[in-house]
A and B are shown apart, each in its own frame.
Chain A
Amino acid sequence: MKISIEWLKDYIEISNDVKKVAEELTMSGSEVEEIEKPFENVKNLFSARIVDVKPHPNADNLNVCKVYDGSIEYTVVTADKSVKVGELVIFGAANHACDFNGKSVQSMDIRGVKTDGMLFSLEELGLEAHSNKVFRFDKEIELGKDIVDLFGLDSTTLELEITPNRPDCLSHIGIAREISVIEGKKLKIPSPEVKFIPDNVNLSIESEGCFRYMGIRIDDVEVKESPLWMKKRLASIGLRSINNIADATNYVMMEFGHPIHAFDFDKIKSHKIIIRDAKLSENFTALNSKIYTFKGGEILIADVEKPLAIAGIIGGIESGINLSTKRILLEIATFDPVRIRNTSKGLNISTDASYRFERGVDPNDSVRVAKRLVDLIISIANGTVAGFSDLYPHHIEEKEVTLTNKKLFSYLSFEPENEDVEKIFNGLEMKCFSGSDGWKVKVPTFRQDISQDVDLIEEFARLKGYDSLPSKRSIPFVEGEGNKWWDFKSEIKRLVLSLGYFEAINYSFEDPKFYQFFGKTFKKGPELLNPISPEMSLMRSSLIYGLMNSLAYNVKHQEFDVKFFELGKVFGEDGEDEKIAFVSTGKLEPFDYTDKREVSLLNLKGDIEAIADFKHSNFEFVNETLDGFAIGRSGLIKINNKNCGIIGEIDEKVLDFLDLKVPVFAAEIDLKALFNSFEKVGYKPYSQYPITFRDLSMFVKKGKILSSEIIEVARASSKYVEDVKVLDLYTGKGVPSGSYSLTLRIIYGSMDRTLSDSEIDGAFNSLMNSLEAKEGITLRKVQK
């Protein structure tokens, strides 16, 4: 919201140090976001006299004029054919002058006539919404005078952020009141003497949503331009002048914060105002020329036939004021903020009026606002008060709020002087009474935000200044309960980082098109009702989607060796789970030039096993065809026979979708399952005697026997087997097709002695015999 410093001076003395005022407002809760010079763009415009006017030789609708600024004569072309010799105008020279928007004046060739500059209207000075003529001074003025000085345009405006609880600050008087408390200065509120005699305005309130409605009829008004001072003030806070009546309503709204509407009294059918709820499908054309269709229940200002305005939001195009209006009806009303807000949201219209009404407007200032408004209108548009009516069905009373000293002292952690407290409350126009154990405070109705003791504490704290409150570092000790889940996640992250994976954090949104590739592999995540875009319309059901995108981004930016993991939430129809997922491509060890290997599916599996081993957990991997993964290269990860993850090589179709030309491996594990699988760690006796090993190579035919079965056979082959390790895995030259060569190392040992060669040979021979008997195994060589 914009507040004019010059305007504020009507109500309170303002020091010349605007920065200090801004700082004080900011530090008391009305944050000044910017100190602006609204007319700073207007440059090098001077008063000048028309000394010659001729029709344009090549255009009937243009005149060519000579203007004189006291030293030089310039040529201009104007479309304002009413300009006469001798008139005083505003001239801006080409390449020097700038208008309100910062647009500089150019020298032009207008149909054969070269111009030296242009004549300005109030629109180009930002003082009028639309001008249809160039500006003329109405009295004699010195030539060559700067317009900024002549008009007093060197004004200052504050751009404020007013929080939604403070509608009372959405006005010049509201801000002046704040300053008056901060600086301890007196506030002057205009209160002209105007008498209203209830008569001649026919009102009927038929809506619960209307708290108060005051109608004032003024006859014989002269609708015309507003005086320059008013245009300037409105322009300085970003409003353009329309006509004197509309401007006066806006002006008083910006003064008191109470929105006002003016109707053309003669456009009201039967001269009767009915405040009622809208009917379903009722139509209405608003001032902005848009047609609105009501859902029913919106509060309307209507006559006996049709809606005239959407209450508290916007007026109608037909009942508005125009230059031929003679009699007006002024509305000073208060409506239910919730209903105004719902209508404003529902119809998607936000206006200065709706902004204030939905935050809460004080019905009890209506008389004061009415007097000020009528006095102002009569002074700039003539007219006489011809009618008045005031209905107030929903009375709002002052509240009394109690604040105990105990609470006040406990919140502040010190005991303020009674005088200090009283000064602040009184400054806010709150009558307060100090008792033995605290305060009773009468809260004026323009402060609907204050209803509890803590609200009063805030008023004291913010106006006393937070900087002046003590700062303590002594909150009492509380025994925490810890968070094992959080600690577990941190530990897993560190472990995975040490395996060379970078952490990625992706959006939780997913592209349904991408999801489709994974068909039955993942359940579909919930859809958003109002997504940013179709590509971000689904909640992710797997972390792999986002990781694939991150991987693709890097590969496309010449990062060919990518190992990513992400730990985060995935979503299903029945809730959300946390998972950890991995993707990898490129070199296994990009910074190790002694290691030329590329990442493989088994490397990814090995990394996952390393995590399991680290925490003494045991995962099982089972081949399974999965949508989105390459045939024969995917499977399930199981813990204690329960599915808890997937692993595989990403399918070509998915790679094509992402425009990737490299193999990518991916896996995902449920974190809860991982957490629960971890064995409790503790001491177990281990053998103190030397071990012996035997290595065994064999060809294994794929599809006939699983390597896990072979290892299981080896493990179970003798009570002396301590461990079985894979020494080598090889396919290629010398290995029959469809087979692979596997070398195992069988480690033998005993808890109580060193085993003899004959014991080990016996065990090893029996293992060889049992393996040889298995279909799909051909033993190759035996090594001692």
Chain B
Amino acid sequence: MSDIEMLVESLKLKINDVKDLEELEKVRLSVLGKNGFITSLMKKIPTLDPVERAEFGKKINEAKSKIEVLISDKANLLKMEGLKFEMIENAIDLTIPGPAPSVGKAHLITQVIDECVSVFAHMGFDVAEGPEIENIYYNFEALNTPKWHPARDLHDTFYISEDLLLRTHTSPVQIRTMERRKPPLRIVSPGRVYRNDYDATHLPSFFQIEGLAIDKDISISDLKGTLESAIKALLGKDKIVRFRPHYFPFTEPSVEVDVSFSGKTNWLEVLGAGMVHPNVLRNVGVDPEKWQGFAFGMGIERIAMLKYDVQDIREFPRNSLKFLRLF
């Protein structure tokens, strides 16, 4: 190995040990600077004899470029390390909670109404709404529930005047819709209803959603299929549904629908339904010999309680943020 080669080798080790850019610059100057080792060797070239000169010159140039590569590689390496160090200094601990903006939540009642509306909207039902202060005719008479009817006992009614009351169910919307729109039709009407009954399990005002489907040939089987499908969509496919005969003045036949969450053992009533009573159709000028259909209604609070395991119905009107944040 020539002297020059040995020099390059020893420089390699020296550069390797360099700790920072400043030190590297010193090394560079000591070799390639004005008075650097290589520079002074190169200055010697003209003094050599021509044969030696070519040989020596070639070696020196090779050595010079080798050293330059070594230094620039090292410089790059040191720069990268410096950058990395700086980045570590400025690192952000992502476990620190973010300064979060507040986003509100819809009331559970709204969430459940929206779920119900969405289920029925997918089956082609339009949303229809109506007034909460209702004429006695729309709330009772038009729905085949005359004044003397014992079924009125089931509705503890708030009155504003002799003719005006707070609607006890969303069924008046059926009447108002059928007065305006001729069949065939499919509507759901969500909304607030009122009963003069207030205790640990009853609110004086609560929410219902009601549905109506009128067509030429709608049958009890359609009622069963539609409601089974809706209840499973709302409460889960694994739920078991049963239809139990019941009585409502505005439907005939009438049923109540029970759901079991735990096999066929513990039945919970979730909705009332039936084939629209011909008298109701007659009251809105629809011929029951041509048109028939089904109607149903269910309590939103009840569905919410079943679905989200809410134990106390009084949570709903309280509007505690602790409650609202849960859903």
Residues of A within 8 A of B (CB): 26-29, 31, 163-166, 337-338, 341-342, 358-359, 410-414, 452, 454-455, 457-458, 461-462, 466-467, 469-478, 480-483, 485-486, 490, 493, 496-509, 526-532, 536, 539, 550, 553-554, 557, 559, 562-565, 568-569, 571, 575-576, 589-595
**A476-B184, A497-B104 as given contacts; A530 in contact with B243, CB under 8 Å:** no
Stretch at the interface among B18-26, B32-40, B319-327: B319-327
Shortest C-beta distance, B302 to chain A (Å), equals: 16
- Residue in A27, A29, A164, A471 whose CB lies within 8 Å of B224: A471
B266 adjacent to chain A (CB < 8 Å): no
Q: A493 — which chain B residues lie within 8 A by C-beta?
A: 106, 110
Q: Is the CB of A475 within 8 A of B226?
A: yes
Residue in B105, B114, B242 whose CB lies within 8 Å of A467? B242
Would B222 and A475 count as touching, CB distance under 8 A? Answer: yes
Q: A411 and B103 in contact (CB under 8 A), knowing A26-B244, A469-B221?
A: no
Q: Do the beta carbons of B102 and A589 come within 8 Å of each other?
A: yes
Q: Answer whether A475 and B100 are a contact pair too, CB < 8 Å, given A27-B245, A31-B244, A481-B181.
A: no
Contacts known (A508-B192, A530-B159); A591 close to B99, Cβ less than 8 A: yes
Which 4 A-B pairs rank lowest in CB-CB distance, beginning with the nearest?
A: A163-B247, A458-B253, A29-B245, A500-B102
- Contact at A565–B222, with CB atoms within 8 Å? no
Given A454-B275, A502-B319, 6 other A-B residues pairs in contact with their CB atoms under 8 A: A26-B244, A458-B253, A475-B215, A475-B218, A483-B126, A528-B159
CA distance A163 to B220 in the complex (A): 20
Using Cβ atoms and an 8 Å threshold, which residues of chain B touch A462? Answer: 245, 253
Contacts known (A490-B114, A497-B106); A529 close to B159, Cβ less than 8 A? yes
Distance in Å: Cβ of B219 to nearest Cβ of chain A: 4
Listed by A's residue number, 24 A-B pairs whose Cβ atoms lie within 8 Å are A341-B148, A413-B221, A454-B252, A454-B275, A457-B253, A461-B245, A473-B226, A473-B229, A474-B222, A476-B216, A502-B105, A503-B105, A503-B106, A505-B319, A506-B317, A528-B160, A530-B196, A532-B198, A539-B133, A554-B319, A575-B131, A590-B102, A591-B100, A592-B101
Closest to A559 in B: B321
Closest Cβ neighbor of A336 among chain B residues: B148
B290-327 contact mask (Cβ, 8 Å, vs A): 1 or 0: 00100000000000000000000000111111101100
A358-B150 contact, Cβ under 8 Å, with A472-B219, A526-B133? yes
Instruction: For the complex, give the distance between the alpha carbons of A342 and B217 in Å.
Output: 40
Count contacts between A and B, CB distance < 8 Å: 239
User: Which one of B110, B161, B166, B220 contacts A503 once the chains associate, using CB atoms below 8 Å?
Assistant: B110
Contacts of A28 in B (CB 8 A): 245
Of the candidates B109, B110, B128, B254, the one whose C-beta lies within 8 Å of that of A458 is B254
Is B127 interfacial (CB-CB < 8 Å)?
Answer: yes
Complex interface: chain B residues within 8 A of A342 (CB)? 148
Nearest chain B residue, comparing its CB with the CB of A547:
B319
Are B158 and A410 within 8 A (Cβ)? no
Q: Provide the residues of chain A in CB contact with B149, threshold 8 Å.
A: 164
A595 CA to B278 CA in the complex, in Å? 63
Contacts of A595 in B (CB 8 A): 99
CB distance from B28 to the nearest CB of A (A): 47
A454–B278 touching, CB < 8 Å? yes
CB contacts (< 8 Å) of B128 on chain A: these are 483
Complex: A531 Cα to B100 Cα, angstroms: 44
In the complex where A452-B278, A454-B275, A499-B104 touch, is A550 in contact with B319 (Cβ < 8 A)?
yes
CB-defined interface of B207-229 with A at 8 Å, one 1/0 digit per residue? 00000010111111110111011
Contact B219 A503 (CB under 8 A): no
Please tell me if the beta carbons of A526 and B102 are within 8 angstroms of each other in the complex. no
Segment 106-137 of B: residues with Cβ below 8 Å from A? 106-107, 109-110, 114, 117, 123-129, 131-133
Provide the bound-state CA to CA distance between A483 and B186, in Å. Answer: 13
Q: How far is the CA of A774 from the CA of B20 in the complex (A)?
A: 65
Q: Does B158 lie within 8 Å of A531, measured CB to CB?
A: yes
Query: What's the minimum C-beta distance from A483 to chain B, rounded to whole angstroms?
Result: 4
Tell whether B175 is near chain A: CB-to-CB under 8 Å.
no
- Shortest distance from the beta carbon of A407 to any chain B beta carbon, whole Å: 8
A168, B219: Cα distance in complex, Å: 28
The answer to whether A475 and B319 touch across the interface, beta carbons within 8 angstroms, is no
Write the residues of chain B forming the contact surface with A, with a CB cutoff of 8 angstroms.
99-107, 109-110, 114, 117, 123-129, 131-133, 148-151, 153-154, 158-161, 164, 166, 181, 184-186, 192, 196, 198, 204-205, 213, 215-222, 224-226, 228-229, 242-247, 252-255, 275, 277-278, 292, 316-322, 324-325
Q: Specify which chain B residues have a CB less than 8 angstroms from the CB of A26 in the assembled complex.
A: 244
In the bound complex, do residue A554 and residue B245 qualify as a contact, i.e. CB atoms below 8 Å apart? no
Closest chain B CB from A771 CB (angstroms): 36
The residue of chain B having its C-beta at the shortest distance from the C-beta of A587 within the complex is B102
Min CB distance, A308 to chain B, in Å?
25
What is the minimal beta-carbon distance from B213 to any residue of chain A, in angstroms?
Answer: 6
Nearest CB on A from B234, distance (A): 16
Is A475 a contact partner of B213 (Cβ separation < 8 A)?
yes
Closest to B111 in A: A503
**B228 nearest in chain A by CB position:** A471
Contact, CB under 8 Å: A508 / B99 = no
The CA-CA distance from A554 to B265 in the complex, in Å, is: 40
Q: Given the complex, which residues of B lie within 8 Å of A359, measured CB to CB?
A: 150
CA distance A550 to B316 in the complex (A): 11
Q: A458-B253, A466-B224 are in contact. Are A504 and B132 (CB under 8 A)?
A: no
Report the Cα distance A341→B126, complex, angstroms: 39
Residue of B nearest to A496 (CB): B104
Chain A, residue nearest B159 (CB): A529
- Residues of chain B contacted by A526 (CB below 8 angstroms): 133, 160, 164
Are B184 and A478 interface neighbours, CB within 8 A? yes
Name the CB-closest residue of B to A567: B110
Contacts of A530 in B (CB 8 A): 158-159, 196
Give every chain B residue within 8 A of A575 (Cβ-Cβ).
131, 133
Q: Is the CB of A410 within 8 A of B159?
A: no
Looking at B101, B105, B184, B278, the one whose CB has the most chain A CB atoms below 10 A away is B101
The complex places the Cα of A553 from the Cα of B323 at a distance, in Å, of: 12
Check A562/B245 contact, CB under 8 A, given A472-B222, A527-B160. no
Q: Which has the most chain B C-beta neighbours within 10 Å: A550, A576, A594?
A: A550
> Are A506 and B319 neighbours in the complex by a CB distance under 8 Å?
yes
Among A29, A338, A504, A536, which residue has its beta carbon within 8 angstroms of that of B319? A504
A528 to B181, CA, bound (A): 32
Complex Cα spacing A507 to B127, Å: 23
Q: Which residues of A contact B219 (CB under 8 A)?
A: 410-413, 472
Contact B247 A412 (CB under 8 A): no
Nearest Cβ on chain B to A254's Cβ, whole angstroms = 19
How many angstroms between the C-alpha atoms of A507 and B109 in the bound complex?
A: 13
What is the bound-complex CA distance between A481 and B187, given in angstroms? 10
Q: Is the CB of A592 within 8 A of B100?
A: yes
Is the beta-carbon distance between A466 and B245 smaller than 8 angstroms?
A: yes
Query: Given the interface contacts A526-B160, A559-B322, A592-B100, does A571 sit within 8 Å of B226 by beta carbon?
Result: no
CB distance from A13 to the nearest CB of B (A): 24
Q: Which of A341, A414, A591 contacts B150 (CB 8 A)?
A: A341
B124 contacts across to A, CB distance below 8 A: 475, 477-478, 480
B68 to A: closest C-beta gap in Å: 46
A204 CB → nearest B CB, Å: 26
Contact A461 B253 (CB under 8 A): yes
Question: Chain A residues with Cβ under 8 A from B292's Cβ?
Answer: 410-411
* Interface hub of B99, B105, B219, B242 (most chain A Cβ within 10 A): B219
Whether the Cβ atoms of B245 and A478 lie closer than 8 Å is no
Minimal beta-carbon separation of A70 from chain B (angstroms): 45
In the bound assembly, the distance between CA atoms of A628 and B313 in angstroms comes to 32
CA distance A635 to B145 in the complex (A): 48
Question: Across the interface, which residues of B come within 8 angstroms of A565, CB to CB?
Answer: 104
Q: When chains A and B are docked, how far (Å) is the Cα of A575 from the Cα of B158?
A: 17
Nearest opposing residue in chain A for B153, CB measure: A164
Asked whether, in the complex, the Cβ of B125 is within 8 Å of the Cβ of A472, the reply is no
Give the complex CA separation of A211 and B10 in angstroms. 130
Asked if B129 contacts A486 (CB within 8 A), the reply is yes
Contacts of B229 in A (CB 8 A): 473
Residues of B within 8 A of A341 (CB): 148, 150
- The answer, among B103, B150, B158, for a CB contact under 8 Å with A498, is B103
